[in-house]
Amino acid sequence: MTIDDTTLTHDETNLITAQSAASRVLLLACGAIAREVLDIVKINGWSHIDLKCLPAILHNSPEKITPAVTDAVRAAEGTYAHIYVLYADCGTGGLLQQACDDMGVEMLRGPHCYSFFQGNDSFAQTDDVTAFYLTDFLARQFDAFVWKPLGLDRFPDLRDMYFGNYTKLVYQSQTDDPALVTLAQGHAERLGLAFEHRPTGYGDLENQLRDWI
């Protein structure tokens, strides 16, 4: 099955492996980690998994994440043996965790995907307060999710206002892809930041899925 980042980003109703029954498990995920989730499912040979992705662009308006997740969980209730929410807090200020607790579903641990990809314990001990992070998804979708939303395509002089307090761009790679490393390094140059490549693999995303499934 071919997964298109643009489709996953904008199609809230995209349900992958659409077969559903009471014995199946639903992973309700951010579209920004869809490729990684599918890779983990394939690696582990899980055949009872359905994956529904919400638009990754919700991260530009984190106040919309909790209502969107709540609606999706409510719509799927009664159809699956288990529903797991593949979001960390992601800027919701604890509201997503509270909603998941109220609905009786589990979600990923950690403040955001940069933390769980690196490993939450490791990330908590990393002093990177002046680092700007990219994942594989954001390296591919940099213009759509960073450059254009900030208006830098129209007003490049705003770059220093947005990124003047950053010192480096940290690219956390989930896969071994030299082309993505080159792409991420180019994004660092565009932002005027030093570049650091930090291979993380799937980190606690894979660990958590294995614990659940």
- Answer yes or no: is 141 within a domain: yes
User: Would you give the DSSP letter of residue 59?
Assistant: G
Residue numbers of the domain that contains 41: 5-108
Query: Does one domain contain both 15 and 68?
Result: yes
Output the pLDDT for position 23. 82
- Answer yes or no: is 212 within a domain: no
Query: Does one domain contain both 20 and 100?
Result: yes
The answer to whether residues 38 and 3 touch, using CB atoms and an 8 Å cutoff, is yes
Total number of domains in the chain: 2
pTM of the model: 0.87
> pLDDT tens for residues 47-99?
999 999 999 999 999 999 999 999 999 999 999 999 999 999 999 999 999 99
Query: Does one domain contain both 36 and 97?
Result: yes
| Tokens at 166, concatenated | 């950053």
> pLDDT tens for residues 156-179?
999 999 999 999 999 999 999 999
Query: Does one domain contain both 97 and 29?
Result: yes
Q: Quickly list DSSP for 7-53.
A: HHHH-TT-EES----TT-EEEEEEGGGHHHHHHHHHHHT--SEEEEE
